[in-house]
Amino acid sequence: MKLHEYQAKRVFAEAGIPTPDAELAETVDAAVDAAEAIGYPVAIKAQVQVGGRGKAGGIKLVDDADEAREAADEILGMDLKGYHVDRVLVEEAVDFTNELYVGVTMDRGEGKPVAMVSTRGGVNIEEVAAEDPDAIAREHVDPAFGMHPYQARKAVYDAGVDRTVANDVASVLTTLYDLWAAKDGADAEINPLMITADDEVVAADAVMNIDGDALFRQPDLAEMQEEAAEDDLEAKANDYGFDYVRLDGNVGIIGNGAGLVMTTLDLVDHYGGQPANFLDIGGGAKAERVTNALDMVFSDENVDAVVFNIFGGITRGDEVAQGINEALEAFDEIPKRVVVRLAGTNAEEGMEILNTDLVTVEKTLEDAVQRAVEYAEEDSQ
């Protein structure tokens, strides 16, 4: 479960991490009233769970009531990378001199949590990791003992954080780790953690994702689940019982099994495409479940083509093929081109059942992904 920025900041603030004064608003008038109460300048920030809000026009800094009204009117109701904006966070502007990054996640390669610090905050940290891995200091933590104070100080020192704020940054990192562990976190990060002219640290943004399977022991966070539901697609995924993550690309991906879906995502990226989603229909999927999966991907306006990757084990290829046919035959016109790759149990029977007037069939995963990427490129032009 992904928390919105305002929800994550609420959790962080309750734990003692400094955050700017802020109010949530759902109307233009409420946003202006909040700005007046906080005091200018303020930032008006779209509350959608997508990166690059600022570049897409979803964050605006304003200096008076007229600018606040104009900004709120522009942001509320806008479509931001396929997400409808129905709430904004009106937040005290931070006069900063530097931006840092701090985060905690699970390093599956090491089998341990990892705490991270970087002086290159305020930008896409994944790009930093790819371009300059040494710019991110990492400290692995034994979950049996938690993060020791010396580990937080070491991560801050290794990152090259200025000594005048090093202790405060180490304190924030320790608190962030404690929250991540106590709240059954998947990811927790502050980007940027701003340093003010008075050498204070402030969490100017907040990300916290929770392990959905652990919500039964996080009742306070479980109450936020409906409020945190990002859009109709995520709500629909919950109703259908799918493991679904929406991404920023235009190649829709459906598969059975998390490993198979991840392999497909990697291949889409390898062949120059951009994945639009992670959608695992699970083992033993019946025709109705496959129909629901296609309905979900077709509902995403960002998707230009779909690749369907099924390896038959528990899931039989003929059932999957029947589901694909039923889903596509329900449309007067197929909204996206679909490429199918079947292998494993009853794959040959499934290939015979598939209506090739409605789908493109490829024998190998590589060929299927390349064809889907080609289709997406053609249809996006």
End-to-end CA distance of the chain: 34
Rounded Cα distance between 73 and 346, Å, is: 55
pLDDT tens by residue, 91-117? 999 999 999 999 999 998 899 999 999
Q: Choose the most confident range, by mean pLDDT, from 27-36, 274-283, 290-299.
A: 27-36
Average pLDDT, the chain: 91
pLDDT given for residue 34 in this prediction? 98
Q: Which of 186, 235, 178 is nearest to 210 (CA)?
A: 186
* Annotated binding residue 378: no
pLDDT(182) > 80: yes
Lowest average pLDDT, out of 137-141, 269-273, 321-325, 336-340, goes to: 321-325
pLDDT given for residue 166 in this prediction? 97
pLDDT(230) > 60: no
* Annotated binding residue 124: no
* Annotated binding residue 45: yes
pLDDT given for residue 96 in this prediction? 95
Given a contact cutoff of 8 angstroms between Cβ atoms, the answer to whether 170 and 128 are in contact is: no
Amino acid at 303: V
pLDDT given for residue 50 in this prediction? 81
* Annotated binding residue 314: yes
Which residues does 250 contact at the CB level (< 8 Å), separation at least 6?
273, 274, 276, 302, 303, 304, 305, 376, 380
Rounded Cα distance between 62 and 66, Å, is: 9
- State which fold the 21-92 domain adopts: Dna Ligase; domain 1 (3.30.1490)
Bridge partners (DSSP) listed for residue 118: 101, 136
Domains of the chain by residue range:
21-92, 96-223, 232-376
pLDDT(227) > 70: no
Rounded Cα distance between 172 and 166, Å, is: 10
pLDDT(2) > 90: no
Q: Would you place residue 16 in the very low, low, confident or very high pLDDT band (cuts 50, 70, 90)? A: very high
Q: What is the mean pLDDT of residues 256-261?
A: 89
Query: Hey, what CATH class is 96-223 in?
Result: alpha beta
**Cα angle 358-361-364, degrees, rounded to a multiple of 5:** 160
Q: Give catalytic residues, as residue numbers.
A: 101, 189
Q: What is the model's pTM?
A: 0.72
Rg (CA), the chain: 23
* Annotated binding residue 53: yes
pLDDT given for residue 123 in this prediction? 86
* Annotated binding residue 301: no
Higher-pLDDT residue of 205 and 108 is 205
* Annotated binding residue 52: yes
pLDDT(323) > 70: yes
**Does domain 232-376 fall into CATH 3.40.50.261?**
yes
pLDDT given for residue 285 in this prediction? 59
Which residues does 184 contact at the CB level (< 8 Å), separation at least 6?
210, 211, 214, 215, 217, 218
pLDDT(206) > 90: yes
Q: Would you place residue 331 in the very low, low, confident or very high pLDDT band (cuts 50, 70, 90)? A: confident
Bridge partners (DSSP) listed for residue 210: 185
* Annotated binding residue 205: yes
Higher-pLDDT residue of 150 and 228 is 150
* Annotated binding residue 99: yes
pLDDT(286) > 70: no
Tokens of 81: 């990378």
pLDDT(229) > 60: no
For the beta carbon of residue 200, count every other beta carbon within 10 angstroms: 13
Q: What is the mean pLDDT of residues 60-85?
A: 93
Q: Which helix (H) or strand (E) holds 69?
A: helix 65-75
The β-bridge relationship of strands 22-25 and 83-84 is unpaired
Rounded Cα distance between 221 and 203, Å, is: 20
Q: Would you place residue 77 in the very low, low, confident or very high pLDDT band (cuts 50, 70, 90)? A: very high
Q: Would you place residue 153 in the very low, low, confident or very high pLDDT band (cuts 50, 70, 90)? A: very high
Q: Which of 48, 3, 89, 8 is nearest to 248 (CA)?
A: 48
* Annotated binding residue 51: no
pLDDT(228) > 80: no
Q: Would you place residue 198 in the very low, low, confident or very high pLDDT band (cuts 50, 70, 90)? A: very high
**Cα angle 327-330-332, degrees, rounded to a multiple of 5:** 130
* Annotated binding residue 94: yes
pLDDT(130) > 70: yes
Report the percentage of the chain scoring pLDDT > 70: 97
Q: Would you place residue 233 in the very low, low, confident or very high pLDDT band (cuts 50, 70, 90)? A: confident
Rounded Cα distance between 186 and 100, Å, is: 21
Higher-pLDDT residue of 290 and 307 is 307
